[in-house]
Chain A
Amino acid sequence: MSEEEARIWNELGKITDPEIPALTLTEMKVIRSVRVNGKVTVVFSPTYVGCPATAQIMQEIRTCVAALGYREIAIETSFTPPWSTDMLDEDAREKLRMFGIAPPPDDASDIASALELAVHCPSCKSDQTTLESSFGSALCRQIFYCRSCRQSFERIKPI
């Protein structure tokens, strides 16, 4: 990565995810690459293709790059490889916990078996939790219930 590209990458890393403000776009791993050759090309991978935040995120990327003085900006969408919760690193997972959302399991390559694993409540750490619904307040989340602290909580669903 050139110095110029690193500078853009760094700025993009300051934009927070509209649906998960605890994480930035680079921590969410939705920015795939930044290329500068005359024009700036940012490759972006949506978490879910129907995610309603996508248009806003792309607009924010454009505004951010334009503020650095670039005129020609292309934002490309890529599904190769598809965005996966496996891409989130430990630091990002801890930030999710602090924010009150349980992180996804480490390995979501097989979704059905990922769903078999115990889930820890982000507030009391108990594993006495049950999946209430695989659909939550956003496409990327599911709803759990903690029997220890008797609270509902959300988890980033393995994908």
Chain B
Amino acid sequence: MKPNTPLQTLLLSLADDELILGHRDSEWTGHAPILEEDIAFSNIAQDEMGHALVWYSLVETDTGRTPDQEAFEREWDSFTCCRFVSYPKGDFAYTIMRQFLFDQAETVRLESFLESSHPGLKEAAGKIIREETYHLMHSQGLVHRLGDATPESRKRMQQATHMAFPQSLGIFEPLEGEAELVSGGVFAGNRSLQAEWLRRIIPVLHSVGLSVPADPGGVRDSCIPDYGGRIRDHNEHLKELVDNLQSVYRSVPGGTW
């Protein structure tokens, strides 16, 4: 198999993030603390998997590898999602914090794609960003409510912030060949996206009294970004998830409904 071009690397990282987080979201179906959240997470899971399908389809136009092949036939250590999306869903506070940090990152990423020199990326972003509006409203609304509700909710949201924040920096782990994409105007690059993302998330967290384990410049070494995912260096959490995700497909190779 030919090595991926920088564009394919970017598209696969986007698709894998959405697929894996979508799978984690789907784990709340039937288990969320209230019915509305059960429905919300089931919807969001479906949306994220739809977004994955769009990014995988763009890869397919280049490589001929179908979305199903990408999602179901690759080994777990071929995925290039950030580690952040692979961790277990944890408690509801962690789920909400992860979703909020990811939704903000995705929005910043999509806004950058709206200016892309790549027509396919630009077109897809114009569609997906509208759907994302609802995700961000949902997760940010819950950060506001839970971050400032009861002592228990504040405690849990603070714990979630401390755990999720360094992990979430992994969303912006540099990609192989990224410089070429930036100079070609495909997207703004992870450094600049991360800076914009910090400008957006910090005020929201501070507004409900949640402290972030690093200053916006990210220079404090108490906050080491959880890198590795983009170079396929994952952990057992992703292995377990991918085993589960692919179990039906692999039990009947080539099967159709």
Give me the interface of A with B, judged by CB distance under 8 Å. Answer: 48-52, 79-84, 111-112, 132-137, 139, 143, 157, 159
Q: Does B126 contact A (CB under 8 A)?
A: yes
- Contacts known (A50-B53, A111-B130, A157-B134); A139 close to B46, Cβ less than 8 A: yes
Instruction: For B134, give its contact among A84, A132, A135 (CB under 8 Å).
Output: A135
Do the beta carbons of B48 and A50 come within 8 Å of each other? yes
- Contacts known (A79-B126, A139-B46); A49 close to B131, Cβ less than 8 A: yes
Q: A50-B50, A136-B39, A159-B131 are in contact. List 14 more A-B contacts (CB 8 A).
A: A48-B47, A49-B47, A49-B51, A52-B46, A79-B123, A81-B126, A133-B40, A135-B39, A135-B44, A135-B138, A139-B43, A157-B134, A159-B130, A159-B133
- Contacts known (A49-B131, A79-B127, A82-B130); A133 close to B50, Cβ less than 8 A: no
Q: Does B128 contact A (CB under 8 A)?
A: yes
CA distance A51 to B124 in the complex (A): 15
Do the beta carbons of A49 and B39 come within 8 Å of each other? no
Do the beta carbons of A134 and B138 come within 8 Å of each other? yes
Task: Bin the interface of chain B by size.
Answer: 20 to 34
Do the beta carbons of A135 and B36 come within 8 Å of each other? yes
Question: Smallest CB-CB separation from B38: which chain A residue?
Answer: A135
Do the beta carbons of B51 and A82 come within 8 Å of each other? no
Instruction: For A50, give its contact among B40, B46, B138 (CB under 8 Å).
Output: B46
Do the beta carbons of B51 and A50 come within 8 Å of each other? yes
Do the beta carbons of A50 and B49 come within 8 Å of each other? yes
- Contacts known (A49-B50, A50-B47, A50-B51); A82 close to B126, Cβ less than 8 A: yes
Give me the interface of B with A, judged by CB distance under 8 Å. Answer: 36, 39-40, 42-44, 46-51, 53-54, 123-124, 126-128, 130-131, 133-134, 137-138
CA distance A49 to B49 in the complex (A): 9
Rank and list the top 4 A-B pairs by shortest CB-CB distance, nearest first. A50-B50, A79-B127, A49-B50, A135-B43
Q: Residues of B contacting A79 with CB < 8 Å?
A: 123-124, 126-127
CA distance A102 to B119 in the complex (A): 36
Instruction: For A132, give its contact among B36, B44, B46 (CB under 8 Å).
Output: B36
CB distance from B234 to the nearest CB of A (A): 25
Question: Smallest CB-CB separation from B34: which chain A residue?
Answer: A133
CA distance A157 to B134 in the complex (A): 10
Instruction: For B127, give its contact among A49, A111, A132, A136 (CB under 8 Å).
Output: A49
Do the beta carbons of B131 and A48 come within 8 Å of each other? yes
11 A-B pairs, CB-CB below 8 angstroms?
A48-B50, A49-B50, A49-B127, A49-B131, A51-B46, A51-B50, A80-B126, A84-B130, A134-B134, A134-B138, A135-B36
Quick one: which of A112, A139, A159 has the most chain B CB within 10 A?
A139
CA distance A130 to B46 in the complex (A): 25
Q: Residues of B contacting A143 with CB < 8 Å?
A: 36, 39
Q: Residues of A contacting B54 with CB < 8 Å?
A: 49
Quick one: which of B43, B44, B124, B138 has the most chain A CB within 10 A?
B43
Q: Residues of A contacting B133 with CB < 8 Å?
A: 111-112, 159
Do the beta carbons of A80 and B40 come within 8 Å of each other? no
CA distance A112 to B132 in the complex (A): 12
Do the beta carbons of B128 and A49 come within 8 Å of each other? yes
Do the beta carbons of B47 and A139 come within 8 Å of each other? yes
CB distance from B244 to the nearest CB of A (A): 20
Q: Residues of B contacting A112 with CB < 8 Å?
A: 133, 137
CB distance from A41 to the nearest CB of B (A): 17
CA distance A23 to B49 in the complex (A): 26
Do the beta carbons of A82 and B127 come within 8 Å of each other? yes
